[in-house]
Structure 1
């Protein structure tokens, strides 16, 4: 079919693009199936022969006509029946502690031989001393490095749709999840669902996926971002909407609170990030203006620990950094070869981790960003601030996080696994396989030794890691 497509010329390409859009729309609304089985969807190399970017055809996107690009909190992946068994997986977080590990000391390399065990070992036949397993999950440890962690499953939290996002409260006592039409809050100690947040004024029909959730630092409020372009701030105790913020022109994919709780940052498919002041409701628009960039929907945002910088990953492969006080774009980080789906600052604010559809993570040294005179317009010169690559995933990297003490970087992927990396060397410590579908979202507890994963298999899971 695709050989024919490539030979039919511009009109044929237009017809195929229209057909793919219709297929994507049908998949999104088909019982939790949004990421088609690989054989049912054009592979990226073929897609790029039809259009200049992957974005309209990304299996993670909602209808292409509804947005300019995908997000870190993706729409529903395919049903379990659409995907065969997988042997990939990885990671967990570490407990809180002093920030005593400078991330990014490893040498910049496109390939880490210490991670070759991912290709050399069959997880199903690995010897007992190399893995731990439960009834429906397993973790395999890297035999080429000293084992530093153990991991166990704590809770499985089933939902009625794809779990698009997971986020811990600051004290680690609660986990929020976002799915179709609702956000839910769970007690991490018991696994009991303590709260369901549904907007009574939202349309009663159709899908309304909650793409991002974020607790306020004091734990009193939960912010949700959804496909209807509205940010809702919920008072958790009363289960009522305290306020709403509107202004984005397309779906909201990512949210992040500042540590003082005064600001919330949002990212949308409309090619903007926005900084909202919760006190007076005002906001700054952080727009992507580069004319050469066609598909630059913002997929993921993060605000630095000192609330000085906002980082945003986008579909055009670039990570951008803005100054919070002025709203000026002060840095463009280039290096990924495909869309950037997730960004996370290190706890000390000196580094930024990004995860991409190119199957890699990167560490960027941002210590000097914004410290000198701020460039504007054409004066902005891109710098090479990447000093470490994390290679080893078999498919798209969809979500990244950094442990509280900075020792570990964690990533979730379309390969249905999670990888746990030594932040100093970009070496995989373990790979965890615990879902039957893409791992769309991960988070590490800021205060406890817990990892949360959200997946297209309609489940969120809470894991406990233990240093060994």
Structure 2
């Protein structure tokens, strides 16, 4: 027993040592864990502080950006105001110079008239002395000479030109009516002075200076418009009446110039020979309003945009080729990141090679789709409001977009970066790239069409009512397109008109006066014009309107050839196929009646 007790004692002592060691190790681990927890808590506090600092910095940058934009807009308005003041001052100086020259010419003519009057008096006195000395001479020729001489040219031609000019409508005088009236009032007295001169010598002495003065003054703004110019001004007038055949066509079921089909009808202009005809090819039902339609460059496909969905159809067969829907952007509640949860596709555009399709939507994102795989290859983000319009550059490497955030942006399609941002004073509703890719046009809510150099980003033209004849749009511009020659721009507006603008002298100095002008105003729609486009041969312009109609116009004369009533709601979008057939081609319409349709237009020979 004693030996057993002796063996148990060392074992218990060893066990106690092990327990103490374990306890000590546990205490150490507890202290380290507590220290690590403290460190972790401290790091969390620091991370939260840094995150808050980053948020503050981001907010500060955003506020600085907003302040910078506001300052930039204020500076631009101030610069525009100063430019206008300078233009007004230059016009006043020009008026004063013209007035001084006219007064000097009048004074010179008056001095000549007095000198010749004195000479006349001396000649008459001498003649009377001779008559008294020689009774046989006949004095009649001296008294009859003033009646036999023709009046000077100035009195016979110039005053009618001035009066005719001043009696024209205001459209002739928007750029300088005050100069015309002042110049006319100062030059008019010259005519009776000149007409009272008695002999050819006096006529030769006075008419050159007077005629030179009249020619110089008239060359500014008083020259009577030539017949061709008057015709051009008349075509561009804004307040033209609606053609009679477009006023009440929908009130009559049968008219000689109205052709009824199953679910659409055509109204022809009875005053001109029938030149084109239209027929329905395909009709595509959608689940919501069709916001946009666009043909591919080769004319084989048509893309349409509606709520949450982009579709591509074959033009030849009408078959659905692709159905594009970004499911990855849908939130957990089944909606999208918009105010209503909807996602209307506002604009679609094929790349020039037809491999990609760009879509712009109300979630402020541009999506680039690969049509072969039906997948999104790029998201272009940066706009702050809905994207209303897209257009590819001819090389397919860049894309221009217009948004309600008052900016036009140019994107590099391959790296997804914005390479240029152009800011204006109001929301951008529509953009277009010229056929050669050198220019960008944009229409906006401020009733203006702006044209920029696409490479350098500077404004080269501003098309609005400040032009020479004051015949710009009177309401927001909702659609712009370049003609296929690239020398003109067509624009459609909420003022119910379409306008054709010439692009002239775009290499002018920024301070010089614009020569671009409205060439034709197309009047015929009864409500907002929402979309315009040109046929590939630039012979016709097509327009879609809230009045549910599509009108085909003669581009040069502004005459409406034919009105198509093919939808039961607003025609929101119109697109012409770039491919021209021997007898015509195709165009498409998208409407608020949830339909997109492809139509065929043909020339009538």
* TM value normalised by structure 2: 0.56
Superposed counterparts of 1:79-98, under 5 Å: none
Whether the 8 Å contact between 2:502 and 2:516 is mirrored in structure 1 is no
Distance 2:368 2:384 in 1: 19
With over 3 angstroms needed to count, the CA separation of the structure-2 counterparts of 1:243 and 1:182, relative to structure 1, is: same
Distance 2:456 2:500 in 1: 25
Whether the 8 Å contact between 1:105 and 1:425 is mirrored in structure 2 is no
Partner residue of 2:603?
467
Distance 2:513 2:438 in 1: 20
Deviations 1:63-87 (A, max 9, x none): xxxxxxxxxxxxxxxxxxxxxxxxx
Distance 1:284 1:332 in 2: 23
Distance 1:308 1:340 in 2: 22
2:393 matches 1:262: no
Partner residue of 1:225?
360
2:236 matches 1:108: yes
Q: What displacement does 1:262 show?
A: 1.7
Alignment partner of 1:435: what SS?
A: coil
Alignment partner of 2:329: what SS?
A: coil
Q: 1:155 aligns with which of 282, 302, 318?
A: 282
2:262 matches 1:135: yes
Whether the 8 Å contact between 2:534 and 2:540 is mirrored in structure 1 is yes
Distance 2:505 2:243 in 1: 31
Distance 1:348 1:106 in 2: 24
Distance 1:215 1:384 in 2: 30
Alignment partner of 2:246: what SS?
A: helix
Distance 1:252 1:303 in 2: 16
Alignment partner of 1:117: what SS?
A: helix
Q: 1:423 aligns with which of 552, 555, 560?
A: 555
Distance 1:106 1:148 in 2: 23
Superposed counterparts of 1:11-410, under 5 Å: 107-112=235-240, 115-119=243-247, 121-122=249-250, 124-127=252-255, 130-203=257-330, 204-205=334-335, 206-289=341-424, 293=425, 296-334=426-464, 335-369=472-506, 371-373=507-509, 375=510, 379=511, 385-410=517-542
Distance 1:341 1:356 in 2: 5
With over 3 angstroms needed to count, the CA separation of the structure-2 counterparts of 1:121 and 1:227, relative to structure 1, is: closer
Distance 1:440 1:327 in 2: 30
Distance 2:383 2:447 in 1: 21
Distance 1:445 1:260 in 2: 19
Deviations 1:245-276 (A, max 9, x none): 11111110000011221221100000001111
Distance 1:284 1:262 in 2: 12
Pairwise CA RMSD: 1.9
Whether the 8 Å contact between 2:535 and 2:541 is mirrored in structure 1 is yes
Q: 1:454 aligns with which of 578, 590, 595?
A: 590
Deviates more, 1:193-202 or 1:436-445: 193-202
Distance 1:158 1:265 in 2: 29
Q: Which has the higher strand share?
A: 1
Q: What displacement does 1:124 show?
A: 3.7
How many residues are aligned here?
A: 354
Whether the 8 Å contact between 2:545 and 2:570 is mirrored in structure 1 is yes
Larger radius of gyration: 2
Q: What displacement does 1:223 show?
A: 0.4
2:571 matches 1:439: yes
With over 3 angstroms needed to count, the CA separation of the structure-2 counterparts of 1:235 and 1:414, relative to structure 1, is: same
Query: Which runs of 5 or more residues in structure 2 are unaligned?
Result: 1-231, 336-340, 465-471
With over 3 angstroms needed to count, the CA separation of the structure-2 counterparts of 1:213 and 1:122, relative to structure 1, is: closer
Q: What displacement does 1:385 show?
A: 1.6
Distance 1:433 1:201 in 2: 39
Q: Which has the higher helix share?
A: 2
Whether the 8 Å contact between 1:333 and 1:382 is mirrored in structure 2 is no
Distance 1:314 1:122 in 2: 32
Alignment partner of 1:170: what SS?
A: coil
Q: What displacement does 1:384 show?
A: 5.3
